[in-house]
Structure 1
Amino acid sequence: MGCRSRHLSLSAILVFIFLACSSPLARPENLNKDVTNLLTAKATLSDEDNPFLQTWDSGSSICLWRGTQWSYMNGTSLNCDDPTVVANQTLLKDPEVVVTSIYLGATGLTGSIPKELGLLSSLHTLWLRENYLRGGIPLEIGNSASLSVLVLDRNGLNSSMPPSLWNLCPRLTILELDSNDLDGEIPVPVNPWTECSQLRELRLENNRLTGEIPSFLGDFTALYAVDLSNNSFSGSIPSDLSKLTNLTTFNVANNNLSGPLPSFMTRYDPSSFTGNPGLCGGPLSAECDGSSPSNRSTPQGSARSPSGGLGPKVVAGIIIGVLSFFVVAGSLLIFLTQARSRVPNEKKQLHVDLKREFDEEETGGDSGKIVHFEGGETLTAEDVLNATGEVLGKTSYGTVYKAKLSNGHTIALRLLREGTARDRGEFVPAIQELGMIRHRNLVPLRAYYSGPKEEKLLVYDYMPRGSLADLLHNGSSGKPGLSWERRHKIVLGAARGLAHLHTGLSTPLIHGNLKSKNILVDDNYIAHLSDYGLEKLMIPAATNDVITAAGTQGYKAPELIKLKKANTKTDIYSLGIVLLEVLTGKRPGKSVDWDEVVDLPAMVKAAVLEEKTADLFDFNIVRGNPRTPSEDGLVQALQLAMGCCAPTAVVRPEITEVIRQLEDIRPKVVSSVQSPPYTPDSASTRSREAFDY
């Protein structure tokens, strides 16, 4: 009897399992149509290890599908903050639930753009910026029923633009395809009456597009930003663009354009047209000839002779012009030859300077000495002194060089100016202390060389992307600006480096000269603080010069006017200024070009009082972004920066609190590799560890 009961029970279980597995709710074919299309797209977009797409699983709630936003077909957003909604597995099969936005920027996507993304009936935003996607843009994307924001820039797309893209009009508001490998001409709309009446941004720069700039762009009258720079467009700029009365940003630099600029182009900066030798007129210094046969008339008394040839006045003018050309060219050649003999080769200048400063045969003193720290053990004095390179910058206390060693490796060298370093008894223990510091967000000191006359040369790692200041303010025309994701990553890295100096050492170390020029960036956009601890190596007078310079540059805390000695709170103030600089894109302090002092905290306060906070943010971090500054953490970052810049030092946050808040406002679309939250242990993590952000 017992065996029979167990047999019946087992049979019941098997029947239950069979019914459950064959029920409509459990079959994959009964999944919501958008869910099915996304699961198909997942296989095309990435490998199995992508942490974002791993969450796209028919066994998990759609609220947990990273990078997606959902709503009901009636327009009501799905409230994924409600735990009951998150737990509702039937949403996967509810035909009324649709995906409305996909944000997968900088998430390591590979492969090609899946055509299934164009089949999502209610998708209005497709954001795949800064990935590794190749191939073309599927025709289905252009035939999407609801798409209005299409952002595919900074990938490897390598085909032509499909004409179907214009089928997204008139819904299309943002089209960003820049920094790819697109070729061919800008396609003509299939429908000649196409009106992109809502299109505000068109960004196609940094591709291989050819042909003429199409005149139909003049019909897209809502445009306020058009960037076609760094392509191979030819012909003239169409006069139809004069209809774009809202156009505030226009860039066609570095193409093959020619002819006179239309008169309405005078309102744009000349840099918008550089790299097109054939362009003339408008804001350009090159004047148009105006003497082409098509434009020239021959009134009575013209230059033509009765026989139809050139008249004597024209012949004389040509002769004089040719002679003038050779006189000017000859003078210029003499000048350049003399200048070349006077100016040393920049690549050899470092070698000459260092040999003169340090070579014992020239100084007659004892030989110099090189002291190694971790990572610099293979360097020799001969390697350093025979390096060739160039000057990167000069300060009141020394010169920084980019130096290339004979083995091809590049390093950075800081030469402390004579009379700025402390005496040997103080310098040696201080440099030994700095040489022991290691942190992934600090530039490591690899060695130092002490010359026969006690001159000092410090050897550091070279950072290929330069400084944060370079990335913010010295960008090339037509190149994409630094994204908010990367700016946040750099500032957070700088804060972690500062935290190590303040809390991760046996004795806290004050930076004392924190600014965007001293935040160096490597190939992976990881921040590395430089110039830390230099006050330990320099005499007080040199340190005072550093503080004074920081004031001129806008980074000095107000209390340093009296204190004359930096501390952790003044470092926090400087970090706050850097964060304001990152958010606004404005360089603090006195302008190099004109007598203007940019007081960033005062500027922010004024904007807040005038209720113009949204106007503060750098265009490069808000352009094309459908999220509000508050949703993207920009407003919170601004509040944090102003807290760091509080006039009263005691109310400024500690560095650990700064890091916590920065981690809380991490951009929603960031690199797929995340770092753990800040802890004292993670603050001292070595630079070779795996996490990147």
Structure 2
Amino acid sequence: MGWDSRHLSLLPTTLVYILLACSLVERSECLNKDVTNLLTAKASLSDEDNPFLQTWDSGNSICIWKGTQWSYANGTSLNCDDPEVASDQSLLRDPDVVVTSIYLGATGLTGTIPRELGLLSSLHTLWLRENYLKGAIPLEIGNSASLSVLVLDRNSLNSTIPPSLWNLCPTLSILELDSNDLEGEIPMPANPWTQCSDLRELRLHNNRLSGEIPAFLGDFTALYAVDLSNNSFSGSIPSQLSKLSNLTTLNVANNNLSGTIPSFATHYDPSSFTGNRGLCGAPLTSNCKGGSSSSNGSTSDSGGSGSGALSPKVVAGIIIGVLSFFVVAGSLLIFLTQARGRVPNEKKQLHVDLKREFDEEEAAGESGKIVHFEGGETLTAEDVLNATGEVLGKTSYGTVYKAKLSSGHTIALRLLREGTARDRNEFVPAIQELGMIRHRNLVPLRAYYSGPKEEKLLVYDYMPRGSLADLLHNGSSGKPGLSWDRRHKIVLGAARGLAHLHTGLSTPLIHGNLKSKNILVDDNYVAHLSDYGLEKLMIPAATNDVITAAGNQGYKAPELVKLKKANTKTDIFSFGIVLLEALTGKKPGKSAEWDEVVDLPAMVKAAVLEEKTVDLFDFNLVRGDPRTPSEDGLLQALQLAMGCCAPTPVVRPDITEVIRQLEEIRPKVMSSVQSPPYTPDSASTRSREAFDY
């Protein structure tokens, strides 16, 4: 249909309304994106009387905005010396005009650093030195795609250094955060492969930073100035800094460092190491115990003799060491002998009659009650109590049984530990809520039995393949290991189950005890999360026990030491540990047999620093597979896992992002590597697996 005179007559009026809406109703909608962000940022940076930021006004040409430099998106500088350009108001609305530098040093700025500055995609320099800014460095600053110079020194910034600043590494050349009130550790990059190849200056002195000087700084090979003085760093000077061949300035004075100064640092001025009572060796004049270098490079021995004879102290130390070895070896032998003798007795206790747990009450004429949920309607109390159970495991919440009913069906039963359940008025609504939850990646609660003395028995589906932990760590020597395809399928299913808890319910539900033992697997290798929601049924003391146990097993997020209450971010940390466990095949946490703690994130960081990343992966994942770890998605999965395990909670991805990345790195070809040999049954199983993925 063509335009007639009525349509044409309406056109001027329409344009007027559009222009009015733009200029009067919401002027910012018509402004350039960077202009809009700076106007929003202005409110956080100063009071209304600051003479510099008063020029930041949509009524002024951007050439008048003090402390800013602009260019076109193609890199051509904006020539504000040209009178026509300087007065051109249309630049405020030109989408191709971008801000490249902000210089507002010593301009009396107050307030906080606005996070909108992280939205300036072409910003090269942010220079806010010597102002009165306070608060935290916004995480969003790390999102700036072009930022090369970040100078925030001599303010009153507090809180911690956000790990997101390392996201700037592809372009970052100068980072100056000194003379503030920053605390905590120098954060690890969320991506362990981060290398600030262009970073030349790192100045963090005059703060309240603590922890060890991170070894990963040695990977930032362009550094020529590192100043960490006047903080509270502890530990030793990492030898990895020897890789910084361009380093001309190193200052670690006035910290709590200890140990021998590495040989690469002996040529620096002694003042760079003073104020560390535990540091010794050249270029300091203090000798290290046992004979170390003095400032002139000579050596002395602790015995005061010029001969090669051992001093009495050294001889005594050797004797004590030898005796200690025999004592430890003897104790270990006794322990192993006793442990070996206990095994048969423990196995004899595995099979139990569940009805015995309630015999005393039944004999007194009392009876319990069973409450059904979807799928458990045909169960009776007699069915449950007459089932013969095999102990599957014991946790802080109680004992889990594999129970065979008289009908031949198998179920899983959880007997809650006595005294751990909440009072009835809290327990009943909570378990009714849990009984309503249904998702293909969650183990469904079918019923619960409440005994005469308030004993609680929860009824679940039984998963025939056990848990992910069983598949990873309890395999028979003659069986092939779990393939990457199946591990990926299991962890992806677990992530989807966790996503339903976090985002699919009217009220988000925290798992709080996520670990490989609580990821159960059915015949088709579909993952089903168990143990979710039990915190709602239990008293706080029982929940604290679970958190403590999670710490011993290596799944507890570091912030739970203080928080004592799980949240979505602590769940993500635990998931990251599970993913690392699936990739490396190693159990996290403290070993039950040996006094050894396996810190999976630390193990990965060490391997990356030593350039042995490929050696991290479980041999079953790479043996005989023609695909490289990168082609197979293993490296990408490792990066995701480390992001989930980031020490700072806000840096960790949410579960939706975890699923997106896992789906992107899904193995492209269903590999038969380390999978059972072909049989008609196994072919049918693999067909179902592909369908269930």
The TM-score, its normalising length taken from structure 1, stands at: 0.47
* Greater RCO, CA 8 A, separation 6+: 1
The TM-score, its normalising length taken from structure 2, stands at: 0.47
